Amino acid sequence: MHNTTNHHHLNHQQQQQQQQTQNSHTSTSRSSDSGAGEPCATGNKWASRLLRECARAISDKDSSKIHHLLWMLNELASPYGDCDQKLASYFLKALFCKATESGQRCYKTLTSVAEKSHSFDSARKLILKFQEVSPWTTFGHVAANGALLEALDGEPKLHIIDISNTLCTQWPTLLEALATRNDDTPHLKLTVVVTANIVRSVMKEISQRMEKFARLMGVPFEFNVISGLNRLGELTKEALGVVEDEAVAINCIGALGRLAVEERGGVIQMFQSLGPKVVTVVEEEADFSSTPYDFVRCFEECLRFYTLYFEMLDESFAPTSNEKLMLERECSRSIVRVLACDEELEDYSTSGGECERRERGSQWSDRLKEVFSPIGFSDDVVDDVKALLKRYRAGWALAQPHQDETGLYLTWKEEAVVWASAWKP
Amino acid sequence: MMKGGFEVVHATLDMIQPHHEPLWDNFASSVAFPTSVNSVPRQTVENRCVNLERNELSEWVEQVTKQLIDDLPPEPETRPDHSSSLQDADTSTMVCDDSFGAPLLPAGDFSRPRKIRRSVLDCGAGEELQWSNNELGNVNNVSENKLNRLDEQGLSLITLLLECAVAISVDNLGEAHRMLLELTQMASPYAASCAERVVAYFAKAMSSRVINSWLGICSPLINYKTVHCAFQAFNNVSPFIKFAHFTSNQAILEAFHRRDRVHIIDLDIMQGLQWPALFHILATRIEGAPHVRMTGMGSSMELLVETGKQLSNFAKRLGMSFEFHPIAKKFGEIDISMIQLRRGETLAVHWLQHSLYDATGPDWKTLRLFEQLGPRVITLVEQDLSHGGVFLDRFVGSLHYYSTMFDSLGAYLLADDPNRHRIEHCLLYREINNILAIGGPARSGEDKFKHWRSELSRSNCFVQLPMSSNSMAQAQLILNMFPPAHGYSLVQGDGTLRLGWKDTSLFTASAWTSSHAFR
């Protein structure tokens, strides 16, 4: 299989050029009279065009243009319409917050409302439904589990440190594999580190269920939750309770991306100090961190990624799905965070919540290579992933890296969207 | 004999299948309405309100609104208050009257919105007024029972929505924005509960308004194609548009009796769905088909020309001589010279009013042009909703109105029906958005008349023509097509036909003639 990452960059540039030449709308008409007053409203990808123009106008501080574009977006946007309308709506919210310097407050309000309205049932329902219609999260789970099982084979005492917010949906399959693979079922200690408040409140239920499941599987099991952290960066070696004779594995699903940028190196070092046998890292393939001060570039990358995500959601769920709506709202919070909260870049300790500054697989690789070496995924694991993808609708594929790249990519319509990798000391 | 005629008509109606037929081809076999004057037996015409429950959601809204307003600090009264509550038991004339005269208190104080009394019915001298009013006297008791049944989630959402509206009405946009951030995260337009759906859309409309306030712009951007598409979908599942079409057509038909040169001006023709049925009747009249001219007005010349083409083709198939004149302007923005008038022609002006966009422009000019034209008949179908007044008045009125509308859809369509979603999102939400926008649905800063019927009756130039029993019969036939049969309510009162859901009137159809009609 060919590597799509480079291919993807080229595509993106070509697309940009195409759009610029096609971009004929300059509607300055504010009247509702002529049918020609809204050329952008009927074409394809109007939201992307308008949003990018608006970002540029903000960067250029062109006040009247900003106003005009925000007005158009406001009129055309809707969080309940088609993909363009949704993107317009959520990005408009972020742009409005940026223009009124209310990003931080907005983010706080949005997250606290979301936390209040989630329950164990709704959170569980949401993630299970998402996993049913899309391999977005299950891809990482299957790849990571495969690497974990292979690296920990033969070890009698396992300690898996799970840093994720996927509500332990990864572990039942692993527990099953441990129970059935050979005669000596190892002892598994699972330490789950959660930071999202939404997840915190449901961990009690989850731990009960996990313990019950492990008993059913006949796997000697210990379950710990570390949930007192304000931010992931506060995580210490001591808090994790690693013991001498354990084989340690560290599983990070979307975790590194939630660390404050300046803390990432330190945390990776801390992982090394735990002496793990294997570290699995799964991250969404987007770069919101390398150009934080270049608003337009950051904006365009954000738009690129979320356009993919929203389109994926649209094609995976039914049109009137409440689960889809909740996932979209989650994105809305992230978008506000990335685009309208940049004034908090320096002072992470007070801003609370989670960072949304994602990095691409290649960037993570560079960081991880400083203390770890990559493990390739075995053919068996790759086959497992392929089998997984077959269970979903068309559009999903697997991309394997070229020579100097590591990990596996999940692709949606040939765009890399999720990166999974495994490392050893 | 009449019975037989009735049955034939009914059978013809059955042939109309709302969902799949291409728009035009079906109309060749569409409704033929009875031309004889003998009406359908009285009992089928009587009010269907007998077994109605009061609309739960809108009752709620009344209760909570009242609470909210009553809790505010008192405002100095500027006129004798002949009703301090929403409980006018006898006639239920609760008039949403803006002529109180008291301006809102300056922004520094906690401005109290005027006491709002909502118009349930403008009833005149009796006639067949048959809304079931007895429950109004028991508003409190009944509400309490209903309140218990409605879920807490819905209750807290609506309360927050109302608080937000009050914040907007006193220009506290920061607070409103914060509340809206919450609301727009909590309510889903795909919910099973109609109340939650309504809140989702109202919250969104208010968010839009807050942003426009900040931008200082109030004009709209409209995608007419989407709107027309949604309009069509609405026409398929709800009787209101057909009600408008068929009752108006009947009134126009009657005005055209024995006239052989006729001219119809449709103020907002859209795709002209209304006219084939009328053409069919005119073409098959005993006295022979008239020569028909039609002036169609709308937003885009392209769309108008297309509509004109379709109508011309249809008329040709019927062998009726027909001319079409498109005018891509708003009625209130043209001069009488733009309308070709010919001697000896009988003029009908038709207007199906909605809040999707401002179809007619400045209201006072529209009225003046009506007067100048002096048509033989003006058929007016209005939403029973006030388009004018201050924000909070419009908010309360439209919350009541659209809750009812949403209820009517929810009674028949499933929560995840994509058609229902299209109607709610592309049509109803668009209207809500316009009504709540700065300055209201004119979207231009100009105020709109509250009710056109009042304006016309106030004017010396017009006299109301009571809707005939044939029109009523038409309306009844339409209702028979739309389940659930006992949800929609049809009432005739004051010469006007009203179609609503449960006991809330949503559309009124009336006809007017110039006092000195010379056309």
- What is the pLDDT at residue A281? 96
Tell me which long-range contacts B253-256 makes (C-beta under 8 A, separation of at least 24).
Answer: B253/B33, B253/B35, B253/B278, B253/B281, B253/B282, B254/B468, B254/B470, B255/B346, B255/B348, B255/B376, B255/B377, B255/B465, B255/B511, B255/B513, B256/B282, B256/B290, B256/B346, B256/B348
- Residues 76 to 115 of B: which have CB under 8 A from any A CB? none
- The tens digit of pLDDT for each residue in B310-322 reads 999 999 999 999 9
What residue of B is the nearest CA neighbor of A40? B223
Set of chain B residues whose Cβ sits within 8 Å of the Cβ of A31: 219
Q: Is B389 left (phi over 0), alpha (psi -120 to 50) or beta?
A: left
Contacts of A80 in chain B (CB under 8 A): 189, 200-201, 204, 421, 425, 429
Q: In the predicted model, is pLDDT for residue A49 greater than 80?
A: yes
Record: contact B181-A109, CB cut-off 8 A? yes
Q: Do residues A34 and A79 both lie within one domain?
A: yes
Asked if A57 and A164 sit in the same domain, the reply is no
Helix (H, G, I), strand (E, B) or coil at A157: strand
Quick check: is A214 in a domain? yes
Q: What is the mean pLDDT of residues B435-455?
A: 85
pLDDT digits (tens, 9 = 90+) for B485-514: 678 999 998 899 999 999 899 999 999 999
ipTM score assigned to the predicted complex: 0.85
Residue B97 placed within a domain: no
**Ranges of H-type helices in B194-296:** 194-215, 224-237, 240-255, 275-283
pLDDT at B137: 33
Confidence of residue A41 (pLDDT cuts 50, 70, 90): very low
pLDDT band at B36 (very low <50, low <70, confident <90, very high): very low
User: Is residue A194 domain-shared with residue A60, that is, in the same domain?
Assistant: no
What is the rounded distance in angstroms from the CA atom of residue B503 to the CA atom of residue A150? Answer: 70
Give CA–CA dist B195/B155, Å, rounded: 9
Neighbour-count burial for A259-269, b at 16+ CB within 10 Å, e otherwise: bbbebbeebbe
Host domain of residue A242: 139-287+351-391+418-424
Last residue of a domain, one of A277, A309, A341: A341
* DSSP helix, strand, coil percent of chain A (3-state; round to 5): 55, 15, 30
Domain presence at residue B411: no
CATH of the domain at B350: 3.40.50.150
B190/A38 touch (CB, cutoff 8 Å), yes or no: no
Strands A396-399 and B291-297: unpaired
Taking CB atoms and an 8 Å cutoff, what residues of chain A touch B416? 318, 320-321
pLDDT at A34: 35
**In a shared domain, residues A326 and A355:** no
Residue B409 in any domain: the answer is no
pLDDT at residue B375 above 50? Answer: yes
Parallel, antiparallel or unpaired: strands B322-327 and B291-297: parallel
Q: State the pLDDT confidence band at B60, using cuts at 50, 70 and 90.
A: low
* A279 and A169 assigned to the same domain: yes
Whether A400 maps to a domain, the answer reads: no
- A109·B182 Cβ contact <8 A: yes
pLDDT (mean) for A163-169: 90
**Count of domains for chain A:** 2
In this complex, the residue of B200, B225, B329 whose CB is nearest that of residue A42 is B225
Contact check, Cβ <8 Å, A34/B222: no
Q: What distance in Å separates the CA atoms of residue A291 and residue A169, rounded to the nearest whole number?
A: 34
Dihedral-angle region of residue B505 (phi above 0 means left; psi in -120 to 50 means alpha; beta otherwise): beta
Query: What is the dihedral sign for C-alpha B438, B443, B446, B450?
Result: negative
**What torsion, rounded to 10 degrees, do the Cα atoms A204, A210, A211, A214 define?**
180
- Flag whether residue A100 sits within 8 Å of chain B, measured between CB atoms: yes
Q: Are A214 and A317 within one domain?
A: no
Within 8 A of A42 by CB-CB distance, chain B residues are: 223, 225
Task: With respect to residue A63, please indicate whether it lies within any of the assigned structural domains.
Answer: yes
- Contact by Cβ (8 Å): B314, B25: no
State the CATH number of the domain containing residue A147.
3.40.50.150
> Same domain, yes or no, for A302 and A381?
no
Q: Are A206 and A235 in the same domain?
A: yes
B404: distance to nearest CA of chain A, Å?
21
Long-range interactions of A195-198: CB distance < 8 A, separation 24+: A195/A165, A195/A227, A195/A229, A195/A230, A195/A231, A195/A232, A195/A258, A195/A354, A196/A165, A196/A354, A197/A111, A197/A115, A198/A114, A198/A115, A198/A118, A198/A123, A198/A165
Name the nearest CA neighbour of B215 among A38, A105, A62, A96.
Answer: A96
User: Is residue A123 domain-resident?
Assistant: no
A105 to B357: CB separation less than 8 angstroms, yes or no: no
A301 vs A299: CA distance, rounded Å: 5
Assigned domain for A366 exists: yes
What is the C-alpha to C-alpha distance for residues A43 and A65, in angstroms, rounded to an integer?
A: 21
A28–chain B Cβ distance below 8 A for any pair: no
Say which DSSP state A341 is in. Answer: -
Query: DSSP code of B12?
Result: H
Residues A130/A323, Cβ–Cβ less than 8 Å: yes
What average pLDDT does range B431-436 have in this prediction? Answer: 95
A109·B357 Cβ contact <8 A: no
DSSP one-letter code for A293: T
Would an 8 Å CB–CB cutoff place A58 in contact with chain B?
no
Q: Which residues pair with A278 in a beta bridge?
A: A249
CB-CB under 8 Å, B301 with A32: no
How far, in Å, CA of A54 to CA of A339, rounded?
13
Tell the burial category of A392 from Cβ atoms under 10 Å away from its Cβ (0-12, 13-18, 19+): middle
Please determine, for residue B77, whether its predicted confidence score (pLDDT) is greater than 50: no
Higher pLDDT, B59 or A313: A313
Say whether both A245 and A169 belong to one domain: yes
> Is residue B200 in a domain?
no
CA distance A385 to A422: 14
- The domain tally of chain B equals 1
B329–A contact, CB cutoff 8 A? yes
Q: Which candidate from A38, A100, A110 shows the least CB-CB separation from B222?
A: A38
Scan residues 79-98 of A and list those with Cβ closer than 8 Å to B. 79-81, 92, 96
- The kind and range of the H/E element at A9 are helix A4-22
CA distance A63 to chain B (A): 11
Distance from CA of A48 to the nearest CA of B (A): 17
Predicted TM-score (pTM) of this structure: 0.80
- Where residue B151 falls among pLDDT bands split at 50, 70, 90? low
Mean per-residue pLDDT, A361-367: 93
- How many angstroms separate the CA atoms of B260 and B378, rounded? 18
Q: With 90 as the cut, is the pLDDT of residue B124 above it?
A: no
The residue count for chain A: 425
Check B186 against A113: CB less than 8 A apart. yes
3-state helix, strand, coil in chain B (%, to 5): 45, 10, 40
Q: Are residues A283 and A297 in the same domain?
A: no
Q: Which of A421, A414, A355, A49 is nearest to A196 (CA)?
A: A355
Query: Residue B19 domain-assigned?
Result: no
Residue B298 lies in a domain: yes
Instruction: Give the containing element (helix H, strand E) for B492.
Output: strand B488-493
Tell me how far apart the alpha carbons of residues B9 and B16 are, in angstroms, rounded to a whole number. 12
Distance CA A127, CA B35 (A): 62
Contacts A67 to B, Cβ<8 Å: 215-217
Name the least confident of A232-246, B155-169, B200-214, B221-235.
Answer: A232-246
Phi-psi group of B502: left, alpha or beta (phi > 0 → left; psi -120 to 50 → alpha; rest → beta): left
Distance of CA A131 to the CA centre of its chain: 14
* Interval B374-392 mean pLDDT: 92
Q: What residues make up the domain containing B245?
A: 240-388+448-514
**Closest partner CB to B223 (pick from A42, A106, A109):** A42
> Which candidate in B175, B182, B183, B190 is best for mutational testing of the A interface (most A CBs within 10 A)?
B190
Per-residue pLDDT tens digits for A102-148: 899 999 999 889 888 888 888 889 999 999 999 999 999 999 999 99
Reference B171, options B118, B115, B104; nearest CA is B104
The verdict on A375 touching B (C-beta cutoff 8 Å) is no
Cis? peptide before B484, omega within 30° of 0: yes
CA angle B369, B475, B283 (to 5 degrees): 70
- Proportion of chain B above pLDDT 90, given as a percent: 54
Residues in chain B: 519
Cβ atoms of A114 and A330 closer than 8 Å: yes
* pLDDT for res B59: 63
pLDDT-derived band at A237 (thresholds 50, 70, 90) equals: confident
Pairing of strands A415-424, A408-412: antiparallel
Instruction: Please tell me the predicted confidence (pLDDT) of residue A342.
Output: 66
The pLDDT, as a whole number, for residue A202 is 81
Contact B358 A71 (CB under 8 A): no
Q: Cβ–Cβ of B204/A70 closer than 8 Å?
A: no
| A398: helix, strand or coil | strand
Residue with structure tokens 């329902």?
A: A125
User: What are the angstrom distances between the C-alpha of A377 and each of A30, A382, A400, B136?
Assistant: 57, 7, 10, 73
The pLDDT score that the predictor gives to residue B87 is 32
**Residue A131 included in any domain:** no
Average pLDDT over residues A209-215: 94
Tokens found for residue B75: 């405002």
Q: H or E element: which one contains B296?
A: strand B291-297
Residue at A154 is within a domain: yes
* CB atoms inside a 10 Å sphere around CB B85: 12
Asked if the C-beta of A64 comes within 8 angstroms of chain B's C-beta atoms, the answer is no
If asked whether residues A230 and A318 sit together in one domain, one would say no
Q: Give yes or no: residues A105 and A199 share one domain.
A: no
Q: Which residue has tokens 């088609």?
A: A82
